């Protein structure tokens, strides 16, 4: 039995069939989406869904890359929502098209072209098909990626004589110039007027240099010339530099030096209970440092203005996560109508949130405006990528819980089921800067460089998105475990000089690390098995099934007992439902602790509802687990009095291939605990971030009896925890 699907959020905003499908003369179908292909394989998943609903082979389906001229406005590609939102909209549009195909007795979808009104809305009453696990076709883009075909934006225009610039079959025959920004010696700098004229005079005639307030850039015929000119100008100019707060261990002291704080009760449920004399109060503080995105390829963009006229059109090629939010802020920055701007998405290096893609797009458009009719390509350096992109904010989490054990409880009984141990209260306090500085959400532009211009656009304070959208710092702060009283307080740090924004899973990473570590601490002190304790406090049957399956996958009790006899080896488990409404995920980690923490194996069990493309989902879960392992063991941003200093891989180490653990992923059936129909599909991209780090921390405690509450779990932090 197929349960009718709810109307997609994307479809509500873009209700017409023509927003999603175009029927070509050769019988093929072009599918439109506002979601960006960031390497997560969403293009292939959407193609599979469309082909399935339309009863067409994959070769007859074309997914058009997101473009503001043709694509539906679906906001940001974020929050693991592409399958849920865009995928559902495309399925419903294709189901309607397939219905019309039969109703009009067509022999080809080309015949529908003349049958349909351009204003025809998608009929969501038409049922979609069930796809279950039968969509297993491999991604057709992988060969191009493996063999180095020029599919990335970084490849576009990389040769100085590459004209015309090609884009999805179209082309522009214009001159290509290379641009570079000129940065001051600090994170926040103001350019002095003195020395500008002399510095300009020192430039060769092939170089064009531009200034607007404290924003400076150069364009040149070649990349090499642009880089040398920018370096020279940087040495000649004089700047005033704002002093940064002192940094200790990735920002562990930021919470004490923030100029202001906005504290709110984010969530409260139940009533406080009076504890008996046998109750015990637990308290612990956890810390996650500021993080970089650490993408392999620095950000890049191309831009061209048609002319110098005020009504000139602007085209931008960008690897942004949101083509329409980027267009909105470009219009604000340049004082033009959004309709004058076209943003074409192209793939860039791996993206895990709000990186430098939008900022470099502004840089390219700003420089291109000085040379109308010529295309400017701006490529950031590794140093710029690490210093100018937003950081993931440092987070501190304080947990307090009151636990009541039944008088007749024995350690043997507790270890068996954990049931006699009751959570009377649970309080979660989280301190963090906001987790979103994305474009498209304010009345002024969000580009950092636009704040440097003479227009003096205000510096925007990072925000946390609304709870309905998954929250920011508070994401996954509400525990999944039953407690008579739960309270979550959020403390947003204000006035700090760091621009922070979304990084994969936002606040869920630190909150789940804290919550799941705390659960293990309570279980250990109460002499409860960690799995049994969790199962006794979970009420959602699908959550219980995921945790139990993870335990079964590793033979939990037997493996724990076996590893207890191996010096330095341990096994830990952690669970979370992403955003408390997304994918269910449990992770088991096996570690060996020597002078450092070595993660040997990870087992991931996830319930993502109806599975659209199993291989793609497994890749997302596996990749998230590996990245979370890197965060857990190695990653931490640094800065000095003037600037961010973690600007290269020695200063910001990430997990090496030799350190990658073996990862096994198990997907729960699409109809898990649902005898009526398939469960709605849920995104897989961010579900493993929190549970993986927490499982590693719990495994470290099992291995050596040391509770590490401060990330990353470096040898230094491990030693400090041992001495605490």
Query: What's the DSSP call for residue 154?
Result: G
Closest C-alpha to 528, from 423, 417, 426: 417
More confident residue, 405 or 149: 405
User: Dihedral of CA 64/65/68/73: which sign?
Assistant: positive
Domains with residue ranges and CATH for the chain: 9-131 (3.30.365.10), 153-241+295-388 (3.30.365.10), 262-290+391-435+472-723 (3.30.365.10)
Dump pLDDT digits (tens) for 352-389. 899 999 999 999 999 999 999 999 999 999 999 999 99
Q: What is the mean pLDDT of the chain?
A: 91
pLDDT mean over 333-348: 95
pLDDT of residue 416: 52
d(Cα 175, Cα 546) in Å, to the nearest integer? 57
- Could you tell me the CA-to-CA distances from 366 to 28, 89, 205, 335 in Å, in that order? 39, 36, 21, 12
Q: Is the pLDDT of residue 161 over 60?
A: no
CA–CA separation, 85 and 9 (whole Å): 6
Q: What is the pLDDT of residues 266-288, one digit of tens each?
A: 999 998 878 777 899 999 999 99
* Buried b or exposed e, range 543-556, using 16+ CB within 10 angstroms: bbbbbbbbbebbeb
List the Cα angle 109/111/115 in 5-degree steps.
Answer: 110
Structure confidence at residue 167 (pLDDT): 42
How many C-beta atoms surround the C-beta of residue 67 within 10 A? Answer: 18
Residue 132 confidence class, pLDDT cut points 50, 70, 90: low
pLDDT tens readout for residues 457-492? 999 999 999 999 899 999 999 999 999 999 999 999
Secondary structure of 648-677 as H, E, C letters: CCCCCCCCCHHHCCEEEEEECCCCCCCCCC
* Residue 40 and residue 56 in contact, taking contact as beta carbons nearer than 8 Å: no
- Please provide the DSSP assignment of 248-287 as one string: STTTTTHHHH-SEEEEEEEEEEE------TT-EEEEEEEE
pLDDT of residue 163: 39
**Which has the minimum average pLDDT: 175-179, 503-507, 579-583, 708-712?**
175-179
Strand 375-379 versus strand 189-191 pairing type: unpaired
Indicate if the alpha-carbon torsion angle 112, 114, 116, 119 is positive or negative.
positive
Share of the chain above pLDDT 90, in %: 77
What is residue 293's predicted lDDT score, i.e. its pLDDT?
Answer: 94
Largest distance between two CA atoms of the chain: 88
How much is the average pLDDT of 532-560? 97
Residue 304 is encoded by which pair of tokens?
Answer: 């061209």
The pLDDT of residue 128: 83
Asked if residues 190 and 390 have their Cβ atoms less than 8 Å apart, the reply is: no
For residue range 101-111, what is the model confidence (pLDDT) as tens digits?
999 999 999 99
Span 494-517, average pLDDT: 97
3-state secondary structure of 94: helix
Buried b (16+ CB within 10 A) or exposed e, 43-56: bbbbbbbbbbbbeb
Q: How many angstroms separate the CA atoms of 219 and 176, rounded?
A: 10
Q: Which phi and psi (to 5°) does residue 213 adopt?
A: 65, -120
Residue 409 has pLDDT above 50, yes or no: no
For residue 248, pLDDT over 80 is answered with no
pLDDT at 714: 97
Query: What average pLDDT does the segment 532-545 reach?
Result: 97
Mean pLDDT of all residues in 118-145: 75
pLDDT of residue 321: 94
Structure tokens at 718: 């491990």
Q: Which two tokens stand for residue 49?
A: 């869904």
| Calpha distance 697→591 (Å, rounded) | 9
Query: Residue 173: what pLDDT?
Result: 57
User: In sequence order, what are the beta bridge partners of 590?
Assistant: 571, 601
* More confident: 675 or 33: 33
Write down the pTM of the prediction. 0.94
DSSP 8-state secondary structure symbol assigned to residue 389: S
Count CB atoms within 10 A of the CB of residue 339.
Answer: 11
Q: Indicate the pLDDT class of residue 626, thresholds 50, 70 and 90.
A: very high
Provide mean pLDDT across the span 115-121. 87
Which token pair is 231?
């370096």
- Per the CB < 8 A criterion, the answer to whether 587 and 691 are in contact is yes
Sequence-separated (6 or more) residues with CB below 8 Å from residue 374: 174, 175, 176, 177, 304, 368
Residue 341 predicted with pLDDT over 70 = yes
Cα 718 to Cα 286, 299, 395, 701, 713: the distances in Å are 14, 35, 19, 10, 6
CB 51 within 8 A of CB 82: no
Instruction: Please tell me the distance from the alpha carbon of residue 679 to that of residue 130, in angstroms, as a whole number.
Output: 10
**Residue carrying the six token digits 């000139």:** 312
Task: Kindly report which listed range (43-57, 365-379, 558-572, 702-716) carries the lowest average pLDDT score.
Answer: 43-57
pLDDT at position 687 over 50: yes
The band of 508, judged by pLDDT with boundaries at 50, 70 and 90, is very high
- pLDDT tens profile 576-623: 999 999 999 999 999 999 999 999 999 999 999 988 888 889 999 999
- Burial label for 155, CB within 10 Å (0-12, 13-18, 19+), is middle
In our burial notation (b when 16+ CB lie closer than 10 A, e otherwise), range 243-264 reads ebbebebbbbebbeebeeeeee
- B/e letters for 681-705, b = 16+ CB within 10 Å, e = fewer, are bbbbbbbbbbbbbbbbbbbbbbbbe
CB neighbourhood size of 373 (10 A):
13
């Amino acid at each position: 039995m197929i349960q009718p699907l709810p109307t997609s959020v994307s479809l509500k905003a873009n209700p017409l069939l023509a927003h999603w499908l175009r029927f070509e003369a050769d019988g093929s179908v072009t599918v439109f989406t506002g979601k960006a292909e960031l390497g997560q394989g969403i293009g292939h998943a959407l193609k599979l869904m469309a082909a399935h609903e339309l009863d067409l082979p994959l070769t007859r389906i074309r997914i058009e890359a997101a473009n503001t001229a043709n694509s539906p406005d679906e906001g940001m590609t974020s929050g693991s929502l592409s399958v849920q939102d865009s995928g559902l909209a495309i399925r419903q549009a294709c189901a309607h098209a397939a219905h019309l195909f039969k109703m009009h007795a067509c022999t080809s979808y080309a015949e529908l072209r003349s049958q349909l009104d351009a204003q025809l809305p998608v009929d969501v009453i038409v049922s979609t098909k069930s796809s279950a696990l039968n969509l297993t076709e491999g991604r057709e883009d992988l060969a191009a990626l493996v063999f180095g075909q020029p599919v990335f934006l970084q490849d576009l225009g990389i040769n100085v004589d590459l004209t015309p610039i090609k884009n999805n079959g179209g082309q522009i025959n214009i001159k290509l110039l290379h641009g570079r920004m000129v940065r001051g010696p600090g994170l926040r700098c103001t350019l002095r007027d003195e020395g500008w004229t002399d510095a300009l005079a020192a430039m060769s005639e092939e170089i064009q240099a531009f200034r607007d307030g404290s924003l400076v850039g150069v364009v040149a015929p070649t990349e090499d010339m642009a880089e040398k000119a920018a370096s020279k100008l940087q040495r000649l100019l004089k700047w005033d530099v704002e002093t940064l707060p002192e940094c200790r261990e990735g920002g562990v002291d930021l919470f004490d030096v923030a100029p202001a704080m906005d504290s709110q009760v984010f969530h409260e449920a139940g009533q406080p209970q009076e504890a008996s004399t046998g109750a015990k109060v637990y308290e612990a503080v956890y810390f996650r440092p500021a993080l970089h995105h650490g993408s392999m390829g620095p950000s890049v963009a191309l831009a061209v203005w048609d002319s110098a006229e005020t009504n000139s059109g602007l085209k931008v090629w960008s690897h942004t996560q949101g083509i329409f939010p980027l267009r909105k802020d470009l219009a604000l920055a340049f004082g033009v109508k959004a309709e004058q701007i076209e943003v074409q998405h192209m793939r860039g290096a791996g993206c895990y949130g709000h990186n430098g893609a939008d900022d470099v797009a502004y840089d390219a458009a700003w420089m291109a405006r000085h040379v109308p009719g010529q295309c400017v390509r701006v490529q950031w350096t590794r140093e710029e990528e690490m210093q100018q992109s937003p950081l993931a904010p440092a987070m501190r989490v304080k947990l307090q819980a009151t636990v009541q054990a039944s008088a007749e409880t024995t350690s043997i009984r507790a270890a068996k089921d954990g049931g006699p141990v009751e959570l009377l209260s649970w309080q979660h306090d989280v301190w963090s800067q906001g987790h979103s500085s994305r474009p498209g959400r304010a009345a002024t532009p969000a580009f950092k460089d636009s704040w440097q211009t003479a227009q003096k656009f205000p510096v925007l304070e990072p925000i946390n998105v609304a709870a309905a959208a998954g929250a920011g710092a508070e994401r996954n702060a509400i525990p999944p475990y039953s407690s008579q009283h739960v309270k979550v307080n959020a403390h947003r740090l204000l006035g700090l000089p760091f621009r922070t924004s979304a990084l994969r899973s936002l606040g869920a990473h630190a909150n789940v690390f804290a919550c799941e570590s705390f659960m293990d601490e309570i279980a250990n002190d109460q002499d409860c098995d960690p799995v049994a304790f969790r199962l006794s406090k979970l009420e959602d049957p699908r959550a219980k099934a995921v945790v139990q399956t993870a335990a079964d996958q590793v033979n939990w009790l037997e493996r724990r007992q076996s590893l207890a006899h191996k010096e330095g080896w341990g096994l830990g488990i952690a669970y979370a439902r992403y955003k408390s409404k997304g994918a269910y995920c449990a992770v088991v980690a096996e570690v060996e602790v020597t002078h450092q923490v070595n993660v040997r194996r990870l087992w991931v069990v996830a319930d993502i509802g109806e599975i659209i493309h199993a291989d793609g989902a497994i890749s997302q879960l596996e990749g998230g687990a590996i990245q979370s392992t890197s965060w857990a063991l190695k990653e931490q941003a640094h800065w000095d009095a003037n600037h961010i200093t973690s600007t290269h891989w020695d200063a910001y180490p990430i997990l090496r291939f030799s350190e990658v653990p073996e990862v096994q992923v198990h997907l729960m059936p699409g109809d898990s605990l649902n005898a009526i129909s398939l469960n709605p599909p849920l995104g897989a991209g961010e579900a493993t971030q929190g549970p993986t780090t927490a499982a590693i921390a719990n495994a470290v405690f099992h291995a050596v009896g040391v509770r590490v509450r401060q990330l990353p779990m470096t040898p230094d932090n491990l030693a400090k925890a041992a001495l605490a």
